[in-house]
Amino acid sequence: MPAAYLQDEHQIFREALRKFLQKEAVPYYDQWEKAGMVPRELWIKMGEQGFLCPWTDEKYGGSGVDFAYSVIINEELEKVGSSLIGISLHNDIVVPYFDSYGTDELKQRFLPTCVTGETISAIAMTEPGAGSDLSAIKTTAIKQGDCYILNGEKTFITNGICADLIVVVCKTDPKAVPAHKGISLLVVERNIPGFKRGRKLEKVGLHAQDTAELIFEDAKVPAANLLGEEGKGFYYLMDKLQQERLLVAIGAQTSAERMLTIAKQYTKQRKAFGKSISDFQTVQFRLAEMATEIEIGRTFLDSVIIEHMLGKNAVTRVSMAKYWITDMAKKVASEVMQLHGGYGYMEEYEIARRYRDIPVSAIYAGTNEIMKTIIVKNLDLA
């Protein structure tokens, strides 16, 4: 049954997006995986059809719609392939920082082209020596006149190669105590002097999604590109992480549902000992177990989405959803590959790609160990 937060207009939007992706993405996805990049043309076409940042205000080119549209976009992109997460990151993780913390001038400069797809965005948190512990970042931005002088390195940056705008997490006060009170957010534009891309990183999965190192050597960033206030960056990040982690859970849930569909189709077609392997009770039981866990994940996830749409603080339940659903999806990937036998290890079968794409969902947006730490803290256990 459709989720309670979905209305007829949402379903119409889903059908339009699905038809678009079937024409503009599905036939080319394998090519993009080999090329290691999703082409800009797709971004432009999505912008033309209203599939980028539809939640933004109409004065910036958006439609001012609710979060349910973002859920639909994330689900339909994931059905095509996990390497399209860069679009989801742009739509619902990075651009919301501009909308929430940017000045009117920054919004006018950045939001319209983010909606059209002319501008691609990224966020740079992780460093070679700092991952989940953001207070340990070393990148600094020291104000000199009407500029910040930015120095440091970032790694594992989604959209790192193609991004035109990058929200960089940095320390404007490296001596702040506690350290997180010195963190600020700066928007770095593509052609700022002193900014360069490092390596395009080779990953186990997500082959079409460009991930890169970013290097800042006395990069001059206009002071006007500060998001919000100096020293408030950590709090802005914490405020937005609920939605970021919810999006990861949505992607993992959708991937698990897709893998179950793949498993049912394959086991019905594959013959062994004169009959379909779906006729064997051991296979039936494994499918039944997966279907049950996937249904539990969907039911819980939909309830959390509703909380988020109502503007509630759902940090604990989002953390639960993020860790449990991504772990469940990893298990489903392993089970479905096993049901495929040797064919599951062949790149021509979708499950091989799903198997290598899903593990990172338990790592980014805060590892699942961090999710459990948050849950423990909010249960007053620590």
Q: SS3 for 143?
A: strand
- On whether the CB atoms of residues 123 and 364 are closer than 8 A, the answer is no
Q: SS3 for 370?
A: helix
118 counts as catalytic: no
The pairing of strands 121-124 and 165-171 is: parallel
Active-site residue identified among 75, 76, 127, 244: 244
Q: Could you tell me which of 134, 129, 89 has the C-alpha nearest to residue 245?
A: 89
User: In b/e form, how buried is each residue of 224-257, taking b as 16+ CB within 10 angstroms?
Assistant: ebbbbebbbbbebbeebbbbbbbbbbbbbbbbbb
From CA 322, how far away is CA 316, in angstroms rounded?
10
Q: How many CB atoms lie within 10 A of CB 68?
A: 20
- On whether the CB atoms of residues 248 and 358 are closer than 8 A, the answer is no
Q: How many Cα neighbours within 13 Å face the side chain of 23?
A: 9
For the residues of 25-85, what is the DSSP string, one character each?
Answer: TGGGHHHHHHHTS--HHHHHHHHHTT-SSTTS-GGGT-----HHHHHHHHHHHHHH-GGGH
- On whether the CB atoms of residues 82 and 205 are closer than 8 A, the answer is yes
From CA 108, how far away is CA 98, in angstroms rounded?
10
C-alpha 364 chain-centroid distance:
8
Summarize the chain as % helix, strand, coil (round to 5): 60, 15, 25
Structure tokens at 160: 């790192």
- On whether the CB atoms of residues 122 and 166 are closer than 8 A, the answer is yes
Greatest Cα pair distance, the chain, in angstroms, is: 79
Beta-carbon contacts of 312 under 8 Å, excluding residues fewer than 6 positions away, are none
Residues with a catalytic annotation lie at 244
